Structures are given as C-alpha cells and as structure tokens.
Chains A and B, each alone.
Chain A
Amino acid sequence: MATCKDCKSFFAREDDRSQGDCVMRVVDPRQAYYQATPVETEKDASKCSSFQKK
C-alpha cells in the first residue's frame, strides 16, 4: 500500500520521522503559493488524488 512517504509532495520532519509535510504548489486566481499540510508518514495514499510517486 502506498503511503504519503512514497509521494513526491511528502517531506518528513527531521525531529519526528513519523510525521511530515505535504507540500503543494497552488496557483489561485490572484496569487501563487506553496501550502504545507501536516500528514502522517504512513497515511494511506491510495485515496489521495494528488499522489505522485517519488
């Protein structure tokens, strides 16, 4: 089963490898930004439409 850690958008935390940031590029109608959402390293990625294999 693919988990977040297998995803290109996943960046593990150095202080706690079981957690990480899901970093996404967002371009909205006004500005562009990078958004980070905390995720668990072993979170099931099968239902994530943004999953991209590392």
Chain B
Amino acid sequence: MGQRTAQTEKALSVDELANRREWWSVAQKTRSKRLDYLRKGVWKKGAIGGNYAPGIKIDLTLPQLFTEKWQEQEGEPIMLQKAHAIAHVLDNIPIFITDRSQIMGYIGSAPHQIVWHWQGISMVNEEIYNEEGIIPEPEEESLEILATLNDYWGGRTAVDKLARILDPEDAVKFMSGAIGWGTPTSAATYSTKDFTYIFKGFEALLAEIEERMEETEQKLQGNPSPQLLPLYDKLPRWEAMQIVLEASIRYAKRYARLARTLAEHFESDPTRKEELLRIAETCERVPAKPPRNLQESLQFDHFVQVLARYETFEGAWPHRPDYVHGPYYDKDVNQEKRLTKEEALDLVGEHLIRTYEVGIFAPKWAREGLQGITGTWVWTMGGVKPDGSDACNDMTIAYMQAARLVRVSNPTFGFRWHPKVKDEVLRECFECIRHGLGYPSMRNDPVLVANTVHWYGHPVEEARTWVHQACMSPCPTTKYGCQPMRMASATANCAKMIEYALHDGYDPVVNMQMGPKTGDPRQFKDFEEFFGAWVKQMEWLRNILVRTVNLGRVKDPEFFGRPFLSAIYERAVETGTDACDPSNGERGNAWVTGFTWVENADSLAAIKKFVYDEKKYTMDQLMEALNANWVGYEEMRLDFVKNAPKWGNDDDYVDDLMVRCLREVSRHAKENKCPSNNNWPLLPENVSGNIHYANLVGALPNGRRLGDALYDGGISPGPGLDKKGPTAVLKSCGKFDHVTDGRAFLLNQRLSPTQLSGEKGYQLWKAYMKTWADLGLDHVQFNMVDDATLRAAQKDPEKYQEVIVRVAGYSAHFVDISRKTQDNIIQRTVQGLG
C-alpha cells in the first residue's frame, strides 16, 4: 500500500488496487469528494506511540468557562452547580462548521483541539505540565491559566474526594498501578444511552421534568412527614436537568444560526447554500424535537454524544446506530426517496468521521494501555429485535460500506451474529475484515443474550437490545438496564494472581506485600495446595477492586454529579436522582475486566506438569529461575515454553485448568455484589494492557520475562504458541461455557489475506464461523494484514499511514502503536483455514 506515486496510483483501476489489497487507495478512489475531503481533513486525536500528533492542542476555553461559572455558583448542590457551569460552556464555547460537513458538534473550540477534563484527578491534572507540544500558544499564558485552574481544582476533583474516604491500604495498593486500571468515578467513564427515550426530544423530557416537579411541589405542601423530606433534594436535581437540556437546545441553535449566517452572507455556491440551510433547519429541530429524517436522527444522536462528553470523559461509546437510525434510512431512501443511497452514504460516512475526530486528553499511562485511539468506541451492529427477529437493516449495510470508504480506526463495530443473519449482511462483515479494518468483531448473539440473562436477570426482551458497553460487555439499552458509569475500573491485572501465588502475596516488581500471605510455594506438598493459594490471591485481587468501585459508584452523585446524563435517563428523570445513583432501579451489569488472564492457565499447567507431576524441576529451581528473570536459565525457560502444555492446542491438560480457573472465578463472581446487589462476572480481555503491564509483571512459569508483552487476548493463546491450527484454538475455547463461566471472552485470530481472497476466501471464513458458532464461542475478531505489509510499515511509517490493525478490543492505525505492540501483533499465528 502507498508504495508508488499518486500518479501511478491513479492509473490503476479499483479492481487492480483491490487485487493488490491497497485498500486505502481503493477507498480514495471510490468515495465521494465530500467524504474524501472530510476524511483527509480530520486531525488524528489518538496518541501516536504514546504522544499526541504535532499540532494537537488542549482546549483551555472549556475548563476556563466551566470554572468561572462553577465558582460563581459555589454552595449549590453539586448537580445544580455543574448544570450552571455546563450551560455556560455550551452558550459560550466557540463552535465551527467545517467545509462540506453536514453533521455538527464537536467537543472543543476548534478541530485540532482536544478536551482536557480537569474534574477527575489532581494528580493527572499535574501531569499536563510534562506534556510536550499540546499546550496552546502563547505557551506562557496557557501555563498560567493551567496553573490557576490546577490551583483551584487541587483537592476538589472527584478522585481527590474519593481518596479521602478509601481505606488507606487499599488506596496505596490501588494506586500502585500494579493490579488495576482506571479510577472509579464518572470523571472517566461511559454510559449506555436509551435512544427510544431520548428521541422523544428534549422538549418532551423538559415537560416530563416539569410535571414531576409540580407533582413534588404539591406533595410538599401536604401533611409534613419524614417521607416528604427526601423530596427536597430532588427539586434541585430536576432543576439541574432542566438547565442542561435547555442549554443543549440553545447549543444546537447556535449551529443553526451559524449555518444560516454562512448561507446568507458567505456562501456563493447554491448547492452548499442549500446544505447550510438544511443544517440550520436540522439544528433548529433537534435535539429539541424528535427527528423526522436520517440527517436529523444522526444529528440528534451526535449532539447527545457530544453533550455527554462536554459533561465528562466518556471513554467508550455504547451504541447501536444501525438499529437507532435504520427506520429513518428506510423512510428517506426506500420509501420517500428523499435521499439517494449515495447521499445517505455520505451522511453515514460523516457520522463515522465526526466520531473519529473526537479527542479527549488522557494521561500517558492510559494512552499506553489504549494506544492509537481516544477511547474504545465499539458500535454494535446487527443482532435481533426485542421479539427475537433479525434486526439487521439497510443501515447495517450502509455502516459497513461507509467504514470501508472512510477507514477510521475508531469507532469500530461489533457485529451481533445470529443464525438468521442474511448472507448479504455477513458478506459485508467479511468485506470489512478482508479490507484489513480488523472489525467488525463477531459476537455470538444467542450466547450473549443468554449470558446477559444468566448473570444479571435482565428479561430476555431487554437483553436482546444489548450494545457493547465498552469493548466487549453487553448491556441492555433499557430503562433499568442502562449502565450509567464505568464499573470496569475493576480491571484486574490477572497475571498477578499467579505471580502472588508464587511469591506469598508479595509483589516483586513494585516491592510491596499486596495479596494475602498464602505461603512459600517451596513448602507446598502438592498442586492442590498451590492451586488453593492461587484461588486466595484471585479472590483478594477481585475483592479489592470490586469494593473500591462499589464505593466510588455510590459516592459518585455526591463527588461528581451528571446533570446531562440524568436528564436523558428515564429512571433518573422519573425519580429525581442522579443517573449514577444505584437506588433508582438500575438492575446492575457490572463485570471485572480481566487483563492478562491466559498466563494463569499456561503457568499453572507448566507448574503442575514439571514440578508436581513429572518432578522434572523442583519449585526451588523454578523460583530461582523466576527470581533471576530467567537470565542464565534460557534452556530451562525454553523447556517451560515449548514442552509444557499451552492453551489453544486442544490439549485437555491445560484446557481443564483454564476451565477450573474460570469456574472458581465464576463462583466468586456471585459472592461479590455490585451496589444494585447483582453479580460481578469476569470478562477476560486486553486492550493494549498486555503491553502496559509488560513492565509490571515479573517472570512467570509460562516462560515470559519481566518486560515481555503478555498474551494479547482474553482467551487468545500466546502468540505463536497455538501450533495446532485454528480449529484446535476454537476447540480449546469451546471447552467452557460462554454463558455461565464468565461475561465474555476476547479471542484474537490472524488470518491470511492471500488465502482468504475471492469467493473461496469468503466460503472458508463462513465455514470457520459456523464451527465458531457451533462451539458456542461468544467472540472472535481478526487481523488480516500480512507480515510483509506490517514489516514494511515499520520500516517506512510515512508510506503506510493508513494500515489498520486489530489490537485487542479496538483497532488502531498500525503506525500509531509502539514497536513492541506492533511486534506483538505480527507474532500472532497466522491461521490457515480449511
């Protein structure tokens, strides 16, 4: 890709380019001029190898506007204070309309700016001084503004407040960075959104709030009683919701006004003039009133997403846009013929671009764990309707086609496969994968619906509305199903379970006693005793994370407050509560994300075989080698790598251990309870946590050294260790129950683009997918870019800017991720199918 001059590229036909798998060039040749301009005009917001691209600056207008109003409103209940501050931002932040664009809304004052959300953690706020290149010019002035803001917010941020009530020992362990990832606060979060409710229009929501307030005020005039007292707290919350909803309508109308001004005073091209007037009409209509057509529904949707991100850092994007917008597409394109397919594709493509361009500042450690992107924006496609019938529609196809035209690495798609999916839709999925996008990931809908019912008791009709809450976990988009806050701050660095079992709960990397003292393994008499230690460490690790998140969650309305989110949450509007208040009826949908999980099974298998069964090595020898980080023990290390059974080869010796571990965790998952008194199942996956934790996990019996990347998936075999082919991988993964043994399981597979070319390639893949479905796996995703291209991209990144790869639960441009992550991806086994 990109090896030749633009001139020779032009000379090649689309078919020739496709034969060469030069997909970026294919996209450039086939997309409209508008999409070409918009796609090339986007500023890349994901960090490149951990650093932001040149020219990217943080937006200081937003925190300044917010803080000045916030200070004025000091003393008010937090939700009301915040509502005033957000409204002030929405009324005053500069807005812009990019040439040729049709969908409005951005978080920040200009396209090259990223939002710095300052209400989360003071410690992270301080880090901004060390960030090179992103402080706006004039730098000295900006640094002064930053210092003033940091002086004010120091000690006042959500996590600062939470830290004051955490158990100090828990806090130190949590903050060590060794065991968990993320902070339990709405300051770094994501939320499910129920568009059947939201699309009533903000005026309707305002009317509902007004009604509730009147009702409550009347009640308060009645006989005084203790039951009436909590009502006093509800009134300011409803008032806060009103303030943000009204401000949101005004914000949209600012775009309408600008579009009209441009049409009347600046634009000479009649076509663009007409477009601008349509934009004006659209932004006057939504989000105030329900959408009537595709442009209005997409615009409404995008405003909601942008507004939510003005309120806080929403790092994921739970959404099912084909389902939400499908009826409008059908009306415009098929029934009323108001839009041609091409015009609709322009809107859909721009929807992807507008999402891709959203940028939010993240500290370096978070950028390392999520290389190349701003957040895990996995949009859900396909699936079934609440009655169980096929939900795929023309919009499903339009999104897949648009994805190939604009080739963004974020959002990506997760496709809800089920037996009734039509071949034409499945082909679209495959084309995206074949075009090297790394998405959609394939999700087994019947399995995941059953799983959602099993773990939380969501009614099946509600479970069927599920969206990817982040990368992997399904969440219903219903009144009591929606999850308003990131609970996956309970993200466990699971390799620590085995590491602590080996070291009596001591962490040899961060040098502190972390887990319980489960004994010196040299003294253990058999494998069962060792496994018992592992179970205790596993339980401890989950407990510390879960209790911290539970506390963060119940305190969130007091420490953070989300007026906008509350205003679009039916149950919050109904009860006058913060959306994050668990007492308002949320059913619960929490899970523990399990990073670096598979090392446990491979390490346990190696210990069982070599130390206990065959007695080839003593535990003392093993501990010596591990303590030396395998240095000087290379032969022994290779023995542990090559001759101990490895997960993913259909070998019962290790597979049984994997199943045993999962069942222990699932038992414990039902003993842990979230604030809604529901379960905490495990969800093994990595984003790029396997790279982030490489320097935080010591040597392990699977043969890794401190510094080596951990395995990439949630249940993917170690790169290059799956020697028996793709069916063996599937068989191993099919040995446990994807409904009852955990929440979801991420499986990365690499396929050969050469082998899967043409119709034969599709048929091979389809047969593979049948085996996958028959075995009851819940997830699989593919990389389909060959070694040669990836190595060439390492050599000459400039020429390969647009090569996309699947990292883990997300895709990224290959050149934006670190060399270590790149090598980790290249070393994944390329599975030959058939």
Contact = CB atoms under 8 A, between A and B. Distances in A.
**A/B touching: CB–CB < 8 A:** yes
Interface of A: 11, 13, 21, 23, 25-26, 28-38
Contacts of B111: 28, 30-31, 33
Given A13-B257, A21-B261, A31 B98 contact: yes
Contacts of B110: 26, 28, 33, 35
A26 B112 CA distance: 12
A23 B261 contact: yes
Interface residues of B, number: 26
Contacts of A29: 55
Interface string B94-105: 111111000000
A34 B112 contact: no
Given A21-B257, A31-B37, A31-B41, 14 more contacts: A11-B257, A25-B266, A31-B98, A31-B99, A33-B96, A33-B110, A33-B111, A34-B97, A35-B94, A35-B109, A35-B110, A36-B96, A36-B261, A38-B92
Contacts of B254: 21, 36, 38
Contacts of B43: 30
A32 B265 CA distance: 17
A32 B110 CA distance: 11
A38 B94 CA distance: 7
A13 B257 CA distance: 8
B99 A21 contact: no
B99 A30 contact: no
A3 B48 CA distance: 44
B42 A30 contact: yes
A32 B98 contact: yes
A35 B95 contact: yes
A30 B96 contact: no
Interface in B18-51: 37-38, 40-43
Contacts of B92: 38
Contacts of A33: 96-99, 110-111
A21 to B, nearest CB: 6
Interface in B71-124: 91-92, 94-99, 109-112
A45 B97 CA distance: 24
Given A29-B55, A30-B42, A30-B43, A11 B95 contact: no
Interface string B287-299: 0000000000000
B262 interface: yes
B94 A11 contact: no
Contacts of A23: 258, 261-262, 265-266
A21 B261 CA distance: 9
Contacts of A32: 98-99
A11 B112 contact: no
A39 to B, nearest CB: 10
Contacts of B41: 30-31
Contacts of A13: 257
A23 to B, nearest CB: 6
Most A CB within 10 A of own CB, among B55, B109, B111: B111
B94 A34 contact: no
Contacts of A30: 40-43, 111-112
Interface string B369-406: 00000000000000000000000000000000000000
A34 B111 CA distance: 11
A42 to B, nearest CB: 17
Given A26-B110, A28-B111, A36 B99 contact: no
A31 B112 CA distance: 10
Nearest to B41: A31
Q: Ordered nearest first, which 10 A-B pairs have the shortest CB separation?
A: A31-B41, A35-B96, A37-B94, A33-B98, A36-B258, A33-B96, A32-B99, A30-B41, A11-B261, A34-B97
6 contacts: A21-B261, A30-B41, A32-B99, A35-B96, A35-B109, A36-B96
Contacts of B109: 35, 37
A36 B106 CA distance: 13
A32 to B, nearest CB: 5
A32 B99 CA distance: 6
A23 B95 CA distance: 10
B351 to A, nearest CB: 17
Nearest to A36: B258
A11 B265 contact: yes
A28 B55 CA distance: 10
A14 to B, nearest CB: 8
Nearest to A11: B261
Interface in B46-66: 55
A44 B91 CA distance: 20
Max chain B C-beta neighbours (<10 A), residue from A26, A32, A36, A38 = A36
A45 to B, nearest CB: 18
A16 to B, nearest CB: 11
A53 to B, nearest CB: 16
Contacts of B261: 11, 21, 23, 36
Contacts of B91: 38
A41 to B, nearest CB: 15
A13 B43 CA distance: 31
B258 A34 contact: yes
Contacts of B37: 31
Contacts of A31: 37-38, 41-42, 98-99, 111
Contacts of B112: 28, 30
A6 to B, nearest CB: 16
Interface in B652-668: none
B266 A34 contact: yes
B42 A26 contact: no
A14 B608 CA distance: 78
B105 to A, nearest CB: 13
B40 A34 contact: no
Contacts of B97: 33-34
